[in-house]
């Protein structure tokens, strides 16, 4: 699964990096090395792996070594020590020809300041990667136009980069990186030079493109909001080392140390946590059961409503204890009393998008996946608890199958 | 303390080179003479008026009508003064020096841009070449190549090549780092990086260097005439030795016209390069 495996990679800048490695092994820290030997430790013993198809964000403040780290992934900067395996092959040991092949076919890069070639038209920029591979002119032109169309700039093929706005230029940068059809995309602060509105637009567009293409993306940023928005996983760097690796939610809710905590304390949790992180396991019943069974189940769990699902756990509706006891008296079936008009949200919805729906719905809100399968339920208390950062109020991820806690579900009223 | 016999050392080195490398100097001499004569004969073969029309058209293409008008009037004036043939000889000498300077200078400039070690060797040499009075290296040039146009061209090249080397080096080093990184990140070989990115972007700088080189070699024509190079320089030199102020002025004016035309032409090429930045 891992497409990139970085193992104990270190980069020391200076005239004699080898000697510094020995000092580092003896326990010298970055400051002491700089003070006494005038060498800079850019990246210090970093290991991580990136899975195929994920957006892996490397995040840190300037000077944290993130740009150096990403440049070692395609050896624009030579690592001083360590191995970097791409598809299982260590590129650090590769010869020049092998490295050029990897850069041509497997890894593309998008740059902070776009780095478009000013003397080439937009389409000539986009086809550059194919051109250096020696691809036939007509073929590469066709691919370049396709790639440009993908980012919405098909009409600008013959313009010069200087005639485009910043946002458009970076789209060209993206198109250029995609034209080679690489497995891996390195994006070095790709959106940092853009103004906030355009940046957000580009983030959305990247996520949309990623939905279609399923590339492996290594995204460098110093902006935590950006990291949380687009990252499947985040690696936090400080002083050349790794502080924490985890999903945005793990980083937010379980900061590895004070540094991460300070980083994330200002972040709006409602824009990070998703419905699936605050939902509880639902109590369900099939439509073919009788109202008596339903009442019994509710009594046992101490709750006042039940979600009705079919055999594939697809959501049908909800029944309340009140309706069920009426049905028992009047001899009606669940079919008669099921309320089909239930508030439903997708499991990936962010909390801030749930406020409105939670406050107006009479029943707990159902959380479903894309196939309309019931994943969980959300009660108001859970949303508030999660925003307060109170882990006790939050329940397990759906993956961890645990019986629903009676206490929790009783709040379902 | 007795004087260092530096003069003796240099002379013995020059003597050794002269005897040791005679065949090489002969070959160089034949080549340079061939180029100069080729250019000069072509220009002489063209009637002056045809040449002027062509130059004016080129001026119009590169600049605008103002520059074209200056070219036409200036060259007609030279023809009218009866200095046409000598001017054409001078032009041939200048163009030959320029061509040789480009052939030698651009690769050296590229080399210095790509390797700090090469630059470390080349830079002090250039300083030496530019500050050593031109008259001084006329002497060994004559020893090696005899009298005539060839040592003139050699001296011009030595005097004029440094700007091309320096500005080629500078232009390539000034290509923004992130563009070079981008070229590398997409898997360019060094050669592709050089020809597809660095040289095109360094072109304005390289052309400025070539412009300077042409101007410097033009300033050498009078000096070159002292060792027998034909051309308008010889007219200036003759006027000086015979104290003929009027003739000296006419010949000097012809050099000025030639200089302005060559300068503007190369400058317009630079500008055209900058504008039409398409490959």
Is there a single domain that holds both residue A201 and residue A286? Answer: no
| CATH code where residue A346 lies | 3.10.580.10
Both structure tokens of B165: 């080397």
Whether A166 is in a domain gets the answer no
- Taking the Cβ of residue A384 and every Cβ of chain B, the question of whether any pair is shorter than 8 Å is answered with no
pLDDT attached to residue A389:
64
Closest CA to A64 of A251, A190, A300, A236: A236
Is there a single domain that holds both residue A68 and residue A189? Answer: yes
Is there a single domain that holds both residue A203 and residue A63? Answer: yes
Closest chain B residue to A132 measured between Cα atoms?
A: B188
Is there a single domain that holds both residue A91 and residue A15? Answer: yes
Considering only the beta carbons, identify the residue of A76, A108, A112 that sits closest to B184. Answer: A76
Whether A121 is in a domain gets the answer no
Sequence-ordered list of residues with C-beta below 8 angstroms from that of B191, at least 6 positions apart, any chain: none
Q: Among A213, A244, A267, where does a domain finish?
A: A267
Closest chain B residue to A97 measured between Cα atoms?
A: B189
Is there a single domain that holds both residue A226 and residue A350? Answer: no
Is there a single domain that holds both residue A239 and residue A321? Answer: no
Any idea where the domains of chain B sit in the sequence? 18-275
pLDDT at B82 over 80: yes
Q: List chain A pLDDT tens, one digit each, 413 residues.
A: 689 999 999 999 988 888 888 888 888 888 888 888 888 899 999 999 999 999 999 998 888 899 999 999 999 999 999 999 999 999 999 999 999 999 999 999 999 999 999 999 999 999 999 999 999 999 999 999 999 998 989 899 999 999 999 889 999 999 999 999 999 999 999 998 888 888 888 999 999 889 888 899 999 998 888 888 899 999 999 889 999 999 988 888 888 888 787 777 777 777 777 887 788 888 888 888 888 888 888 888 888 888 888 888 888 888 888 888 888 888 888 888 888 888 888 888 888 888 888 888 888 888 888 888 888 888 877 777 777 765 444 443 333 333 333 333 333 43
- Range with the poorest average pLDDT among A265-269, B87-91, B139-143: A265-269
- Taking the Cβ of residue B178 and every Cβ of chain A, the question of whether any pair is shorter than 8 Å is answered with yes
Whether A129 is in a domain gets the answer no
Whether A7 is in a domain gets the answer yes
Whether A378 is in a domain gets the answer yes
Using an 8 Å Cβ cutoff, are B113 and B168 in contact? yes
- Taking the Cβ of residue B183 and every Cβ of chain A, the question of whether any pair is shorter than 8 Å is answered with yes
Q: Which CATH number fits domain B18-275: 3.40.50.620, 1.10.3720.10, 3.20.20.70, 3.40.50.1950?
A: 1.10.3720.10
Using an 8 Å Cβ cutoff, are A185 and A74 in contact? no
Instruction: Say how many domains are in chain A.
Output: 2
Domain limits for position A16: 2-106+182-267
Q: Among A220, A243, A267, where does a domain finish?
A: A267
- Taking the Cβ of residue A129 and every Cβ of chain B, the question of whether any pair is shorter than 8 Å is answered with yes
Pick among B175, B177, B182, B204 to test the A interface (most A CBs inside 10 A): B182
Closest chain B residue to A120 measured between Cα atoms?
A: B278
Is there a single domain that holds both residue A78 and residue A223? Answer: yes
Rounded to the nearest angstrom, the minimum Cα separation between B22 and chain A is: 44
pLDDT attached to residue A1:
67
pLDDT attached to residue B139:
82
Is there a single domain that holds both residue A197 and residue A60? Answer: yes
pLDDT attached to residue A218:
95
Whether A245 is in a domain gets the answer yes
| Type and span of the H or E element at B222 | helix B221-225
Whether A142 is in a domain gets the answer no
- Taking the Cβ of residue B44 and every Cβ of chain A, the question of whether any pair is shorter than 8 Å is answered with no
Is there a single domain that holds both residue A342 and residue A397? Answer: yes
Closest chain A residue to B199 measured between Cα atoms?
A: A119
pLDDT at B274 over 80: no
Whether A139 is in a domain gets the answer no
Is there a single domain that holds both residue A217 and residue A283? Answer: no
**What is the widest separation between alpha-carbon atoms in chain A?**
89
Considering only the beta carbons, identify the residue of A74, A128, A160 that sits closest to B277. Answer: A160
Is there a single domain that holds both residue A373 and residue A347? Answer: yes
Taking one residue from A and the other from B, the number of pairs with CB-CB distance under 8 angstroms is: 70
| Global confidence as pTM | 0.74
SS3 string, chain B, reads CCCCCHHHHHHHHHHHHHHHCHHHHHHHHHHHHHHHHHHHHHHHHCCHHHHHHHHHHHHHHHCCHHHHHHHHHHHHHHHHCCCHHHHHHHHHHHHHHHHHHHHHHHHHHHHHHHCHHHHHHHHHHHHHHHHCCHHHHHHHHHHHHCCCHHHHHHHHHHHHHHHHHHHHHHHHHCCCHHHHHHHHHCCCCHHHHHHHHHHHHHHHHHHHHHHHHHHHHHHCHHHHHCCCCCCHHHHHHHHHHCCCHHHHHHHHHHHHHHHHHHHHHHHHHHHHHHHCCCC
DSSP classification of residue A324: H
Considering only the beta carbons, identify the residue of B178, B200, B278 that sits closest to A115. Answer: B178
Is there a single domain that holds both residue A97 and residue A197? Answer: yes
Sequence-ordered list of residues with C-beta below 8 angstroms from that of A271, at least 6 positions apart, any chain: A225, A228, A229, A350, A351, A352
Rounded to the nearest angstrom, the minimum Cα separation between A89 and chain B is: 17
| CATH code where residue A64 lies | 3.40.50.300
């Amino acid at each position: 699964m891992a497409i990139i495996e970085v193992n104990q990679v270190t980069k020391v800048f200076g005239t004699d990096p080898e000697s510094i490695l020995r000092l580092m092994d003896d326990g010298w820290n970055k400051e002491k090395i700089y003070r006494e030997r005038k060498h800079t430790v850019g990246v210090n013993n970093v290991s991580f792996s990136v899975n195929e198809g994920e957006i892996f964000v490397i995040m840190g403040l300037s000077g944290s070594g993130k740009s150096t780290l990403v440049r070692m992934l395609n050896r624009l900067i030579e690592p001083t020590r360590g191995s970097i395996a791409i598809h299982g092959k260590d590129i650090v040991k590769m010869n020049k020809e092998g490295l050029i092949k990897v850069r041509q076919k497997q890894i593309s890069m998008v740059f902070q300041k776009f780095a478009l070639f000013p003397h080439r038209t937009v389409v000539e920029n986009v086809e550059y990667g194919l051109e250096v591979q020696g691809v036939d002119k007509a073929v590469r032109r066709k691919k370049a136009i396709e790639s440009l169309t993908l980012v919405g700039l098909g009409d600008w093929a013959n313009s010069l980069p200087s005639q485009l706005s910043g946002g458009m230029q970076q789209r060209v940068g993206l198109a250029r990186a995609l034209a080679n059809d690489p497995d891996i995309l390195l994006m070095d602060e790709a959106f940092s030079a853009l103004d906030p509105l355009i940046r957000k637009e580009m983030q959305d567009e990247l996520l949309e493109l990623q939905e279609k293409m399923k590339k492996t993306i290594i995204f460098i940023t110093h902006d935590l909001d950006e990291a949380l928005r687009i990252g499947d996983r985040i690696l936090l760097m400080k002083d050349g080392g790794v502080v924490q690796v985890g999903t945005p939610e793990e980083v937010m809710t379980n900061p590895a140390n004070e540094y991460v905590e300070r980083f994330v304390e200002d972040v709006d949790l409602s824009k990070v946590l998703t419905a699936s992180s605050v939902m509880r396991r639902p109590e369900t019943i099939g439509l073919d059961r009788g109202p008596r069974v339903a009442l019994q189940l509710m009594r046992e769990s101490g709750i006042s409503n039940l979600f009705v699902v079919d055999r594939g756990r697809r959501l049908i509706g909800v029944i309340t204890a009140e309706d069920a006891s009426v049905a028992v008296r009047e001899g009606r079936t669940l079919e008669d009393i099921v309320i089909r008009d239930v508030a439903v949200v997708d499991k990936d919805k962010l909390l801030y998008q749930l406020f409105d729906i939670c406050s107006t719905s009479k029943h707990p809100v159902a959380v479903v996946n894309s196939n309309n399968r019931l994943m969980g339920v959300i009660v108001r208390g859970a949303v508030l608890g999660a925003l307060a950062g109170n882990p006790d109020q939050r329940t397990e991820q759906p993956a961890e199958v645990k019986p629903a806690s009676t206490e929790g579900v009783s709040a379902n009223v | 303390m007795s004087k260092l016999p530096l003069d003796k050392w240099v002379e013995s080195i020059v003597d050794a080179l002269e005897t040791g490398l005679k065949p090489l100097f002969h070959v160089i001499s034949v080549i340079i003479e061939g180029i100069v004569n080729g250019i000069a004969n072509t220009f002489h073969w063209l009637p002056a008026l045809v040449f002027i029309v062509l130059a004016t058209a080129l001026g119009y293409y590169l600049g605008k009508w103002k520059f074209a008008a200056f070219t036409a009037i200036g060259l007609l004036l030279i023809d009218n003064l009866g200095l046409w043939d000598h001017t054409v000889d001078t032009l041939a000498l200048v163009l030959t020096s320029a061509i040789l300077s480009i052939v030698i200078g651009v690769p050296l400039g590229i080399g210095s841009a790509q390797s700090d070690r090469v630059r470390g060797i080349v830079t002090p040499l250039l300083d030496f070449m530019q500050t050593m009075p031109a008259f001084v290296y006329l002497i060994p040039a004559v020893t090696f190549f005899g009298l005539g146009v060839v040592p003139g061209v050699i001296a011009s090249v030595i005097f004029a090549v440094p700007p091309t080397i320096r500005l080629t080096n500078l232009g390539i080093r000034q290509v923004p780092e992130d563009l070079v990184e981008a070229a590398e990140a997409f898997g360019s070989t060094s050669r592709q990086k050089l020809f597809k990115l660095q040289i095109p972007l360094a072109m304005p700088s390289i052309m400025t260097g070539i412009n300077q080189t042409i101007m410097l070699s033009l300033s050498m024509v009078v000096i070159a005439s002292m060792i027998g190079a034909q051309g308008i320089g010889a007219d200036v030199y003759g006027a000086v030795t015979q104290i003929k102020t009027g003739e000296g002025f006419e010949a000097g004016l012809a050099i000025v016209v030639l200089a302005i035309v060559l300068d503007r032409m190369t400058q317009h090429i630079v500008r055209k390069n900058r504008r039409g930045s398409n490959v």
